[in-house]
Amino acid sequence: MKQIALLSHRFGNIGHNFMALGAQAAAKEAFGSSVNITHFEQHHPFSIYPQGNILRIIDKIPHGKAAILRRYLGKRSVYQKNWEKISNMDFDLAVACGGPNLVSGAAHTPEMRLMMLHFNGAFKHSGVPLLDAAVGSGFPMERIPEKLSSDDEDFYREAASYTSEISVREPTAARLYKSLGVKTDVVPCIAVGSGRYFEAVGKAVAAKDVSRDLVVINFQEKGSNSDHNQGVDAVEWMNLVRNVIKDLLSAGEKILLLCHSSYELKLARKIAPELQAVFPQTEEQYAKVIMRAKVGFVSRIHAAVALAGIGIPSLVVGNDTRLGTTEQFGLPSIFTKEITREQAVQTILKLIEDKDDEHERLIQLREDTISTYAKKFLKNSRH
C-alpha cells in the first residue's frame, strides 16, 4: 500500500481544506482508493519529530507567537542538525499544498522558514521525494514585482532544492520561479479536485430534489483578506455588493450569502439582513450549501475553486495575484478597485445564461487537473 504524506493547512479558513481534498482525489486517482494518507499540518512543522522530542511543544504555541524562538529554529545550521533526530519517515511521496507561498519577505518570516525549509527539508533529508503542488503568489495588483529581493531569491532557491518538482497555479508564480532558474509547470489549482468530494456528499442532497437555483455570494470587507495598502474603499465596496444584491433580486434571482468566517457572517447580516447567510463549519456542510448554487460572486479564491469543482462558474474579485488562480479556470477575475456595479451584474447574468456550457467545461477541467496531478504523483513517487 502506498504511503503518502500530505502537507497542508486544514485548521484555518475552511477554504484551506479544499487543497487537501483535491490532493486526496489525485492520490486516489494515482494509487487507488486504498492509498494511505498521513496528514501533516503545515502550521505545526515540528510534528515531524518523534513523540517525546521537546520541539513538538512549540507546535502548541499559537501561530505568530514566540518569534525569537521560531527565528532561531529557522536557521539552516539549527534545522539541519535537528533533522538527525527525525525517524519514521517511511513515505513513498510527500505532497505540499498550502497557500500562496510565494510572497515578499519570506526569507525573514520565521513561520515561512520553518514551513518551507525546516519542515519541507526534513522530508528531503529522510529520502522522501516532495512535490510542492499548486504554489501560488500573493503580491498586490498595483505592485507586482519584476523580481524578488536577493534574500527572498536565496530563500526560494533553497526551498526548491528540497523538492522533486514544483507546480504553480498561476503565471506570476511561474515567472518569478523562472527568474530563479527554477522550472515549474502551470497547472490549475489542485483544490478543484475537491469537487469529487462535494459531489459525493451532494448526492444525498440531490435525492431530496433541491433546486440549483441560487446565486451564491461571498464577500469580505475590502474584497479580500487585505487591500495591501492599495486604497480600496471599504464603504464603497460594501455599497457595491449591496447594490449588486439589489439588482439581482430585481432581476428575479434568488441569493444565498456564503461566509468563510464569523466576521463575514456579521458583514453579511449587516448589509442584507433579509437574506439567508450561512457559515459552514465542515466540508460536508459546505457541500450541501454549494450544491444549491447555479453561479457565484465571490472574493474568497477557494470559494470560486470549490464551486468550479462541481461545475459552477463564478465572478471573482480580489486585490492580489491570487486572482491568477481563478483566471486559469477561465473565470472572470477582477481587481476590486476596477469592478463596477453594472459590470458585476452583467457578468453574473451572462454566467447564468452560459451556466450549462460552463458546467461541462469546468467538470472537464477538474478531471484533467486530477489526471495531471495523478501523473505527477506517480512520477515523483519513490517506489
pLDDT number for residue 208: 58
pLDDT number for residue 210: 66
- Do 169 and 325 meet the contact criterion of CB atoms below 8 Å apart? yes
Q: Are strands 165-168 and 36-41 parallel, antiparallel or unpaired?
A: unpaired
- Do 3 and 90 meet the contact criterion of CB atoms below 8 Å apart? yes
Number of domains in the chain: 2
pLDDT number for residue 159: 97
Give the domain range for residue 67. Answer: 3-191+368-380
The answer on 185 and 40 residing in a single domain is: yes
Give me the CATH number covering residue 153.
Answer: 3.40.50
The answer on 180 and 198 residing in a single domain is: no
The answer on 260 and 318 residing in a single domain is: yes
**137's grid cell:** 503568489
The answer on 286 and 273 residing in a single domain is: yes
- Do 297 and 186 meet the contact criterion of CB atoms below 8 Å apart? no
The answer on 270 and 183 residing in a single domain is: no
The answer on 213 and 159 residing in a single domain is: no
The answer on 246 and 161 residing in a single domain is: no
* Angle ∠(39,325,279) on CA atoms, nearest 5: 65
Residues (pLDDT < 50) of the chain are none
Which tens digits make up the pLDDT trace of 74-90? 999 999 999 999 977 99
The answer on 197 and 171 residing in a single domain is: no
Give me the CATH number covering residue 267.
Answer: 3.40.50.2000
All residues at 6 or more sequence positions from 126 whose CB lies less than 8 Å from its CB, including other chains? 83, 86, 89
The answer on 209 and 141 residing in a single domain is: no
pLDDT number for residue 304: 98
The answer on 152 and 212 residing in a single domain is: no
pLDDT number for residue 203: 77
The answer on 28 and 138 residing in a single domain is: yes
- Do 23 and 369 meet the contact criterion of CB atoms below 8 Å apart? no
The answer on 250 and 218 residing in a single domain is: yes
> What is the pTM assigned to this prediction?
0.95
